[in-house]
Amino acid sequence: MLESLLEFAIQGVVLGGLYALFAVGLSLIFGVLDVINIAHGEFFALGGYLAFAGIVLLRWPAGAGVVAAAIGTGLLGLAVHPLLLGPLRRRLGRRPAGPLYLVLTLGLSTFLQSTLLLAAGGEYLRVPPHVRGVLDLGVTAVAYQRLLVLGAAVLALAALFAFLAHHRQGLAIRAVAQNPDAAQAMGIPLGRVHTLTVALGVGLAGLGGALMAPLFNVYPAVGFPLTIKAFAIVIVGGMGNLAGALLASFVVSLAEAFSVMAIPSEWQNLIAFVVMIAVLLLRPQGLLGRAVVR
Amino acid sequence: MLVVEGVRAGYGRLEILQGVSLTVEPGALVGLIGPNGAGKSTLLKTVFGYLRPGAGQILFEGRPVTGLRPDQARRRGLGYVAQDGGLFAEMTVHDNLVLGGYVLPSRRAVRAAIEAALERFPVLRDRRRQVAGSLSGGEQRILALARALVTRPRLLLVDEPSAALAPGMIDRVYDALVALHRTGLALLIVEQNVEAILGVAGRVFVLDLGRNAFDGTPAELRGSDRVRRLYLGEAVA
């Protein structure tokens, strides 16, 4: 029994790393821009495709391929705000956006999936593991590839949190998230911060896609199920709260891992939404979100 | 230093300012008063770039600033302190001051500017690591002023510095504003607390229903029975 629990815990923690890369990026974009990025999964897929291009086609070392894929996704993400979100924001002025950003990013999602399909076809592309072999822990064995995902996620998120806490631009991002008007009064250009934020957020998704490519294969819609689950994770953590998204990622992944002890594995994907509903009923602001006093 | 000519501005289709004009001379302390809804805060927001005027022009040091974004206005030498202080409540006093120096060219310049701010407002030194939202109302107002001054603006726009403050704290805030004025900083202060502003301003503008209603010195304002009665209440001596 203990061995099973330990095995599920390890698997859950490893999966939590991937969820965290995805959900923290999504939460970052929402927290700063107040935009739910439906296209987040397509940047995950893009990361996979860029990793395939670098590692399989150009025969780069795996590490270089993964880093290049993350950076490449982030660079492409730099175009999202100036070309799409920014013009809509300027057009709206101070009027509420309603569902417009949702529709816009849904359109971006469809565009990106179609472009990937056109450019690379619908075949599942295979990327070889970045590291081979398994780590035998006695009670279970964990593929080094999965440990790599967890380790890279921890490093990337630690770097992000340090950037937000100490770097001038990181402080600017936090300032815009808290009070955009006051941030402008400091001389912080909103458009530039929004552009950087989107690039960081989707860059994390691209990193996740590059790391997971050997495990999930690469195809245009690979990121969509993850997007839906990440919404639930972001809500569980508290909308726009990065620490909450990080915590919720592991809460959900561990819940999923342990759930197979009680329910058929085909139902695992429901767990995130069951947790979300439970949190909404008991603590609507999320695990680390702030309650709104009326 | 600041020339506002015939400015019309508002929120969407609601026009608040209907051709307002105002001037602030270099180094002056100018008060802007009037009844609720007169457009005082709206004028400040329009000058600083939060609102785009539909007509009129705004000149700062002889150069047009009409239509500039707030971050651009800041870089031109204008500073702004919002009515609620506009602090980043979840960040520390130190981080708020660091953000006040966002436009400075180097970390060294930011450190020096923060040190100067703490010299001027020593109450903040012991609270550097404290979260801004946990400060008292008066301390938050002091922090907002200190932060606005980190980059040494040449004109500071202040929206109701005494709002929701206890009388003792109002005195502290106004002592700070007067001390800043003595260094040569020009100030345009919107204020509901008429006595507080009349005691320090060299010139006062009164707005009513989005239009200019009076322009003169505090003594001239006090000498006008009509203005006193209409805009300040009979209690003003």
Q: Does B190 touch chain A (CB under 8 A)?
A: no
In the prediction, which pLDDT does A140 show? 76
Mean pLDDT estimate for chain A:
90
| CB A29, CB A39: distance < 8 Å | no
Does residue B51 surpass a pLDDT of 50?
Answer: yes
Which residues in chain A are contacts of B49 at CB distance < 8 A? Answer: 184
Q: What is the pLDDT of residues A72-102, one digit of tens each?
A: 999 999 999 999 999 998 888 777 787 899 9
pLDDT at residue number A25:
94
Per-residue pLDDT for A293 more than 70?
no
Neighbours of B164 (CB within 10 A): 12
Rounded Cα distance between A66 and A75, Å, is 14
Shortest CA distance from B86: residue in chain A? A182
The C-alpha of A16 sits at a distance from chain B's nearest C-alpha, in angstroms, of 27
Average pLDDT over residues A154-169: 95
- Mean pLDDT in residue range B146-161: 92
Q: Find the length of chain A.
A: 294
pLDDT digits (tens, 9 = 90+) for A87-143: 998 888 777 787 899 999 999 999 999 999 999 888 899 898 888 888 887 777 888
Q: What's the pLDDT score for residue B35?
A: 87
For chain A, what is the largest distance between any 2 Cα atoms, rounded to a whole number of angstroms? 60
Reply yes or no on whether the pLDDT at A240 is more than 70: yes
Q: Is the CB of A188 inside 8 Å of chain B's CB atoms?
A: yes
pTM of the model: 0.90
Residue A292: predicted pLDDT: 57
Q: Assign B5 a pLDDT band (cuts: 50, 70, 90).
A: very high
pLDDT at B236 over 50: no
Task: Write the ipTM.
Answer: 0.89
Interface size, chain A vs chain B, as Cβ–Cβ contacts under 8 Å: 71
Query: Quick one: what percent of chain A has pLDDT higher than 90?
Result: 64
Query: According to DSSP H, which parts of B80-232 are helical?
Result: 93-100, 107-120, 137-149, 167-182, 194-198, 218-223, 225-227
Segment of A94-98, A193-197, B107-111 carrying the highest mean pLDDT: A193-197
Q: What angle do CA B114, B116, B118 make, to 5 degrees?
A: 70
User: Smallest CA–CA separation between B85 and chain A, in Å?
Assistant: 9
pLDDT, mean of residues A184-211 = 95
Q: Do B102 and A172 touch (CB under 8 A)?
A: yes
Asked if residue B192 has pLDDT above 90, the reply is: no
Residues of B in contact with A90 (CB under 8 A): none
Check CB contact of A174 with chain B, cutoff 8 Å.
yes
Query: What angle, rounded to 10 degrees, do the helices at B93-100 and B107-120 form?
Result: 120
What pLDDT is recorded for position B237? 46
- In chain A, what are the domains? 2-282 (1.10.3470)
pLDDT confidence of A250, banded at 50, 70, 90?
very high
From A189's Cα to the closest Cα of chain B, the distance in A is 6
Question: How far is the C-alpha of B22 from the C-alpha of A164, rounded, in Å?
Answer: 41
Among A4-8, A50-54, B129-133, B225-229, the least confident range: B225-229
- For B101, the token pair is 């120096």
Residues B163-188 have a mean pLDDT of 88
Question: Region A32-61: what's the mean pLDDT?
Answer: 94
Largest alpha-carbon pair distance within chain B?
54
- Rounded Cα gap, residues A238 and B34, in angstroms: 42
